[in-house]
Amino acid sequence: MENETQQIISNQDKQSQYNNVVKEALFTNNMDVKRISSLTNLIIGDSRKVLSEIPDNTFQCCITSPPYWGLRDYGIEGQIGAENIINDYIEDLVSIFSEVRRTLKDDGTPIKSLGLSPVGVGGL
């Protein structure tokens, strides 16, 4: 039971560390790499810039939820999702996911959450 409790505390510490890294990232536009564990790095930055700096076949998995078009303003100039025309938004995503594919290993897995906002909300 003690080992199980220590594992839960360890996981909570990692989650807290992760949350702090993400909060810090909201206020920077620079690429930053944070080591969460020996197997996990969190790369923070504008994906349109950061991915170009990463070698081919680097990642086993990419998990992302890109901003929805016209739904939120994060207060960052040139942010994804704030394009005036939806075709520009789609072009941004296609460009980004082309880079994601390049950086994934041959047997890598891309996971993205991209749905529709409710009718009448945002730009859709």
Query: CB–CB of 9/31 below 8 Å?
Result: no
The verdict on pTM exceeding 0.75 is no
Query: CB–CB of 57/106 below 8 Å?
Result: yes
Domains of the chain, residue spans: 1-44, 46-115
Short-list 117, 111, 30, CA closest to 81: 117
pLDDT tens digit sequence for 7-62: 444 555 665 665 565 555 545 555 555 555 556 667 778 888 889 989 999 988 88
φ/ψ of 100, rounded to 5, equals: -60, -45
Cα distance from N-terminal residue to C-terminal residue, the chain: 51
